[in-house]
Amino acid sequence: MDLPVWFEVVTLVTLTLLLIVDLLIVTRRPHEPSMRESTAWVSFYIALPIVFGILLLIISGGQASGEFFAGWVTEKSLSVDNLFVFVIIMNQFRVPRRYQQSVLMFGILLAIVMRGVFIVLGALAINQFAWVFYLFGVFLIYTAAKLAQQQASGPHVDEKFDSPLLQRIGRRFPVSADYDGIKFRTVVDGRKMLTPMLIVFVAIGSADLLFAVDSIPAIFGITQEMFLVFTANVFALMGLRQLYFLLGGLLERLVYLSAGLAVILAFIGVKLVLHALHENNLPFVNGGEPIHVPQISILVSLGFIGATLAVTTVASLLKTRRDKVRLR
């Protein structure tokens, strides 16, 4: 898949400028966005990848465009699941609404950096070792099983996010009871202390790391083009901050999201294993010779992902509506 160098450069420069503008808006005017402001930004960040996908279709053809759209939809779905964890963190640490934009912006930028590193490592591994497809495929199927178990155990918005690192920070360093803007350190009664904001940032960073580990194998199951993998991830993460404020309570109504993501990740995992068998070079599998198995096309992948998300959303909204009627 050959894309013009100028197109890749212009795309990366444009994405960088958009992220800088977004960062300046947050740092210069920390506030809780209105519904109108959030809607306008979310609409813009959804229209942007659609336009980009159309440009890919014109410049490089249907294969590149199809892979990008399938990757973007998958990563966007996983990023919405990311929002559930952000909601948990914000609620657990009682982050004031006016500072939540800054926390989310940090989380998004860190997620882009982490995913960029994982993309490079993943691409290098795939180029050197074809058996990595087996590893990614099995990992995604395992992740799908965990999500299915999570769905069966109840809505994950009620879970608490915690980690040994957070516990160590709380035990070893004095932490103030109140926030001091977005500062990490403050002075209380002449004593220097850490603020809860540092703990929040560590929690967000830990969540980003976990989601990066899950999302990169998923996108490599759709396309191995580094440019498409990276742009699909960036487009999926952009606008996540505004989406957080726009969705609000709607996140709690997507009760079957874990089940939908489990189906999608399992599908991509199977697709990766089939691709690994087709490219097989492991000496203990079929004598190191490729196995001619059916390959799942990008159109089938895109259709399956879209249909799964549509069914998940409709089923979730119908269930929450029925539950609300029963409580009356």
Of 46-60, 93-107, 242-256, 291-305, give the lowest mean pLDDT range.
Answer: 242-256
% the chain with pLDDT above 90: 10
pLDDT bin (cut points 50, 70, 90) of residue 301 is: confident
Contacts with 193 (C-beta within 8 Å, 6 or more apart), sequence order: 173, 174, 175, 176, 185, 186, 187
Q: Taking the CA atoms of 11, 7, 129 and 285 in sequence, report the sign of the dihedral they define.
A: positive
Kindly tell me if the per-residue pLDDT of 161 is higher than 60. no
CB proximity list for 270: less than 8 A, separation 6 or greater: 137, 141, 296
Two tokens, residue 220: 């490599």
Q: Cα-Cα-Cα-Cα dihedral of 297, 303, 308, 313, to 10°?
A: 150
> pTM of the prediction?
0.73
Q: pLDDT-based confidence at 154, cuts 50/70/90?
A: low
Q: What is the pLDDT of residues 188-235, one digit of tens each?
A: 777 788 888 888 888 887 777 777 776 778 888 888 888 999 999 889
Higher-confidence position of 58 and 181: 58
What tokens appear for 98 in the block?
């006016």
Res 159: pLDDT: 46
List pLDDT tens digits, range 77-118: 877 767 767 777 777 778 887 788 778 888 888 888 888 888
Q: How close are the terminal C-alpha atoms of the chain, in Å? A: 57
What's the pLDDT at 47? 93
Q: What is the pLDDT of residue 90?
A: 78
